[in-house]
Amino acid sequence: MSEDMNFVTVQEMAQQAEYTKKVRDMIKDKQLKAFVYTLGCQQNEADSERIRGIFLSMGYTVTDDEEIADLIMVNTCAIREHAEKRALSVIGRYKHNKARNPDTVIGVCGCMPAQGHRSEQLKHSYHYVDFVFGTGSLHKIPEYVYNALNKGKRIFVAESDKPKIAEGVPVVRESSFKAWVSIMYGCNNFCTYCIVPYVRGRERSRKMQDVINEVRTLVNEGYKDITLLGQNVNSYGKDLDGSPTIADLLNEISKIEGDFWIHLMTSHPKDASSALIDAISKSDKIANHFHLPLQSGSDTVLKRMNRHYDKEKYLSIVKELKEKNEGIVFTTDIIVGFPGESERDFEDTLDIVKRVEYDSIYTFQFSPRKGTAAYSMDDQIPEDVKKERFERLNEVQNEISKAKNEAMIGKTVKVLVEGKSKNNDKIYSSRTEGNKIVHFSSDKDLTGQFINIKIIRADTFALYGEI
């Protein structure tokens, strides 16, 4: 099969361009405004930047104020129950927008409605929603909006598990110095707790040249921090007959001239190869930071999670990364309270956390997701036990984070200035290559620039320094 089968055809994109033009003609001189509410991970953030790009191309202006919006999209997440509850409550409040102005167009997209039962729920209980699609039909927003503006039938798209990649969708980026670049979509791993493979379909890689061109353009436009996105970036290229690999891609990107950082989000330990680790250590562009989701430190739990690595393999990757990259910063994701997790299993997780010495971790309490294998596993853990383990894990990590941050005092580090701090006008926030927050004061606005900061103080979650 030709790899072009993975892409939305030129004809289909041209058809959407027609709809874009029709919408533009229809709303001309009306000064309509569009708003998108984003929940979920960086992948959704990246998708929302494309949604805004499409809004703009249709002649809407983008607003941050949902109260005055004529077109509203909710880009949802389904990773945990909490995320879905929030999505439903956000969608719920737009009922009033429609009641106030019946011409308001409302769409729901993202991971939540990619599940049949949620799409049905939106159809039957949220009558004011005009169109609903999953993550594979974003490029068709012009068609859906045109239909809604013409009071056509409500649209509910059943997504395929092999959605196609749409190249050339316009994008409006949030930041002028930090950017997301998706290098692949979907996931093949079916970790037993996770909904992502069901809602984002199978792995599809973008062509290496398309990725490189996008990164080069961003660097030329002055972007300083570029995150390559994928549910498991380590398997990049495997659907393109195994070549190019993520290591090939990183080696090529490292040849681009300029002062910038490349981050990866996310790497699966089972596919972390020596070639990848070497590509990172050889390059001065790829950040000395590795986000390596652990999920659990117990071999039996890892097996039931279908993660395809054990404690020993995980620690060997960490060791190789540490040996080849001095001062590398590790971060991770951990789930507590997976079905059947015993106190012993949990202690194995604490043990790894202490041994790796992550700079920070993201801890989650297991949330059963309908349709996944872990949903119906025996021995579900009571909520109070999950909560207690969650708190204990964070206590252990907080001490490590604090010690690691304190060890930075006196050192001079390169940071990217992100902007003024929320609470104080004279204080700026910045981030290190390892994603640590550094506050400092400055009379000059250095937002978007790399500068060197000497660290003078540290606490658990942040560093403080001077220029």
Q: Which does 77 bind (CB under 5 to 8 A by kind): ligand SF4, ligand F3S, ligand SAH, none?
A: ligand F3S
- CB of residue 197 vs ligand F3S: minimum separation in angstroms? 10
Name which of residues 31 to 90 contact ligand SAH (CB under 6 A).
79-80
In which residue are the tokens 């990049």 written?
A: 236
Q: Which of residues 188-247 bind ligand SF4 (CB under 6 A)?
A: 189-191, 194, 196-197, 231-232
Chain residues that interact with ligand F3S, rule: CB under 6 A: 40-41, 43-44, 77-79, 110-111, 195-196, 199-200
- State how far Cα 274 lies from the chain centre: 25
Q: Which is nearer to ligand F3S, 336 or 463 (CB)?
A: 336
* Per-residue H/E/C for the chain: CCHHHHECCHHHHHHHHHHHHHHHHHHCCCCCEEEEEECCCHHHHHHHHHHHHHHHHCCCEECCCHHHCCEEEEEECCCCHHHHHHHHHHHHHCHHHHHHCCCCEEEEEECHHHCHHHHHHHHHHCCCCCEECCCCCHHHHHHHHHHHHCCCCCEECCCCCCCCECCCCCCCCCCCCEEEEECEECCCCCCCCCCHHHHHCCCEECCHHHHHHHHHHHHHCCCCEEEEECCCHHHCCCCCCCCCCHHHHHHHHHCCCCCCEEEEECCCHHHCCHHHHHHHHHCCCECCEEECCCECCCHHHHHHCCCCCCHHHHHHHHHHHHHHCCCCEEEEEEEECCCCCCHHHHHHHHHHHHHHCCCEEEEEECCCCCCCHHHHCCCCCCHHHHHHHHHHHHHHHHHHHHHHHHCCCCCEEEEEEEEECCCCCCEEEEEECCCCEEEEECCCCCCCCEEEEEEEEECCCCEEEEC
For residues 23-52, one letter each, b for 16 or more C-beta atoms within 10 angstroms of the residue's C-beta and e for the rest, the string is beeebeeeebbbbbbbbbbebbbbbbbbbb
Q: Which is nearer to ligand F3S, 200 or 268 (CB)?
A: 200
- Which of 368/448 has CB closer to ligand SF4? 368
What is the pattern of x (binds ligand SF4, CB under 6 A) and - over residues 240-279?
Answer: ----------------------------x-----------
CB of 373 to ligand SAH, least distance (A): 11
Cβ closest to ligand F3S, residue 78 vs residue 277: 78
Selection from ligand F3S, ligand SAH, ligand SF4, none that 80 binds (CB < 5 to 8 A by kind) is ligand SAH
Which of ligand SAH, ligand F3S, ligand SF4, none binds 434 (CB below 5-8 Å, type-dependent)?
Answer: none
Closer of 26 and 265 to ligand F3S (Cβ): 265
Q: Which is nearer to ligand SAH, 230 or 465 (CB)?
A: 230
- How far apart are CB 123 and ligand SAH at their closest, in Å? 25
Q: What is the token pair recorded at 119? A: 């799409």
Indicate the residue among 269 and 434 with the shorter CB distance to ligand SF4. 269
Binding partner selected for residue 40 from ligand F3S, ligand SF4, ligand SAH, none, CB under the kind-specific 5 to 8 Å limit: ligand F3S
Taking the C-alpha atoms of residue 26 and residue 146, their distance in angstroms, rounded to an integer, is 9
Q: Which amino acid is at 447?
A: T
Q: Which residues within the stretch 266-285 sit at the binding site for ligand SAH (CB under 6 A)?
A: 266, 268
Query: What x/- string results for residues 177 through 206 when contact with ligand SAH is judged by CB under 6 A?
Result: ----------------xx-x----------
- Residue placing its CB nearer to ligand SF4 in the complex, 16 or 231: 231
Residue 108 Cα distances to 24, 144, 176, 189, 210, angstroms: 21, 11, 27, 26, 29
Residue 43 interaction partner, one of ligand SF4, ligand SAH, ligand F3S, none, beta carbon < 5-8 Å per kind: ligand F3S
Residue 367's binding partner, choosing from ligand SAH, ligand F3S, ligand SF4, none, with beta-carbon cut-off 5 to 8 A by kind?
ligand SAH
Q: How far apart are CA 376 and CA 357, in angstroms?
A: 34
Of 205 and 266, the one with the shorter C-beta distance to ligand SAH is: 266
Instruction: Please select the residue that binds ligand SAH; options are 369, 386, 389, 404, rule is CB under 6 A.
Output: 369
Q: Say which entry of ligand F3S, ligand SF4, ligand SAH, none residue 78 contacts (CB below 5 to 8 A, set by partner kind).
A: ligand F3S
CB of 88 to ligand F3S, least distance (A): 14
Q: Which does 71 bind (CB under 5 to 8 A by kind): ligand SAH, ligand F3S, ligand SF4, none?
A: none
- Binding flag, residue 187, ligand SF4 (CB under 6 A): yes
Interface ranges with ligand SAH (CB under 6 A): 79-80, 193-194, 196, 231-232, 266, 268, 293, 295, 333, 335, 364, 366-367, 369
Interface ranges with ligand SF4 (CB under 6 A): 187, 189-191, 194, 196-197, 231-232, 268
